[in-house]
Amino acid sequence: MTAGQANPGTRAWRDPVATTPYGAVRGRYESGVAVFRGIPYAAPPFGPRRFRPPVPPEPWDGVRDAGAFGPTAPKPPYSEAFAQYLSDPVVAGDDCLNLNVWTPEPGPGARLPVVVWFHGGALTRGSSAVPVYDGRHFARDGVVFVSVNYRLGVEGYGVFPGVPANAGLRDQLAALRWVHDSVEAFGGDPSQVTLAGQSAGAISVGALIAAPQAQGLFRRAVLQSGPPEAFERDKVRRMVRRMASRLKIPATAEAFAAVDRDLLLRTQAEIGRLSSPVLGGPAFGIVIDGDVVPRHPLEALVDGHAARDTELLLGWTRDEYRLWLVPGGLLERVDRLGAVALAGAMARCRCGSEVPRGYRALRPGAGTAETVGQMVTDHLLRLPLQRLAEARPGSSYVYEFAWPSLRPGLGACHALELGFVFDTGDLPDSAKLAGDGAPQDLADAMHGAWVRFATTGDPGWEPWDATHPVRVFGEVDGISHTEYGLRDRELALWSADTRRAAEGIEDTGESEMLAPPAAPDTLPVRPLRGTELRAVVRRLRRAGGVGRD
């Protein structure tokens, strides 16, 4: 046994101690694994460091206690409609650039594989303290698991004159460098690092593996329900300017830094409440900055040299859109709008009438909301992820999570797979999405695949090739593995031009203002005018209390 360990069968455990470049930390033994929480990887990003790139933390003397989660980044709470499905604890304090480590064998020499986890939450919510993200089962199965807090919303992704963009992404890069320099002391192998994330976390992973500064700091990557993407700078600037207008201040970092933090969060929530993956709207996101993100991450990964030897695990849930539409009753409202909602989806996806017509032909019993939801999911997720897999045949593995939640209306929605990946389905926070009684054998299969991928680069099924193998988790009509399945038929509906638009053209935030192309039979005879379409989308958002994970 290494220093700090004791026989798990005795009570005479000594707390595990590990040494980082900035000082020693003392963790705890829990369920037979060592856990270190709240370790700072950068200095508190406030005062003169606010809105600036991260800097190393101040070294400390003695042994720092790492028994509790550190402060979470400033963030607004979820709306009441979403809070019934998603947990988002808050830990007060300024020292929010911290991370946590679960390890079966603290101390150098073990050389175990490492997973670094970046949480979701639309880059405005979430944290490493979400109970579903407990890493004990990864450690139980021989993986050192690291979860990271990073700046969110305007603090992390605001675009200001004279200030480097993407502060939150730079935080993640700093955490990744910390892992490279420190994880061996926790039993990890810095040459066997897998980056993993879901939703906004997956978007972050896509940007990191494409970033020049991150090359050599990872070996594998998992992108769950989030593609490599970047917003136009003007879209994020508009979000900042709207906040500035509401606050009656200049749109500068100095002016924003002078605003009371709670007021800033409330204003961000008010401006962002009309944002939704399905409906578009104002949002924060990663932007091309000429430095960490020198070009669009998807393009850098598809036709550039970034991460050429990286093994990829890519996937989505069957009904992503249901988490975006079910809370607040937006699903029913979209169904009632019918043809007008289809026109809005065509504008959002920049496609012609043949696309919704094809979706309806493939799903003759589907309502408008299902058609719209699947169209937008393919536009946002499946098209770019499939394009990435096509660029990396032989080293990309693709999955779909298809088990439907036991909670009414959610289906196999966005974020539902997380309790299965972490094998934390027994927690009340997982049951908020999955319901009570989620199948343990499905968690065993999915968690086991992630552990195998982090350990060997092979999750247990065929890599992507010309036959398009997709591992389906959760049997649907008795099918657990499919080739050329329903998703291929749906994606084939998109023309080459439409695919390029869906994958490569940035969303400027004004897609709801575009008049749609020629309409299918079920749409109005004349295309909707931009002002009409914008009014419909705004009405939908307000009615549904929309938000996104």
Cα–Cα distance for residue pair 528/381, rounded to 1 Å: 26
296 catalytic residue (yes or no): no
Cα–Cα distance for residue pair 226/204, rounded to 1 Å: 9
Question: Are residues 185 and 20 in contact, defined by beta-carbon separation less than 8 angstroms?
Answer: yes
105, 155, 229, 320: the active-site residue:
320
Burial tier of 402 (Cβ tally within 10 Å: 0-12, 13-18, 19+): buried
Cα–Cα distance for residue pair 531/545, rounded to 1 Å: 21
Question: Are residues 188 and 20 in contact, defined by beta-carbon separation less than 8 angstroms?
Answer: no
199, 225, 276, 430: the active-site residue:
199
Cα–Cα distance for residue pair 422/535, rounded to 1 Å: 41
One-letter-per-residue 3-state SS of 45-107: CCHHHCCCCCCCCCCCCCEEECCCCCCCCCCCCCCHHHHCCCCCCCCCCCCCCEEEEEECCCC
320 catalytic residue (yes or no): yes
Cα–Cα distance for residue pair 436/431, rounded to 1 Å: 6
414, 468, 490, 512: the active-site residue:
414
Collect all residues with Cβ–Cβ distance below 8 Å to 223 and sequence separation of at least 6. 197, 202, 205, 206, 312, 313, 314, 315, 385, 388
481 catalytic residue (yes or no): no
| Positions marked active-site | 199, 320, 414
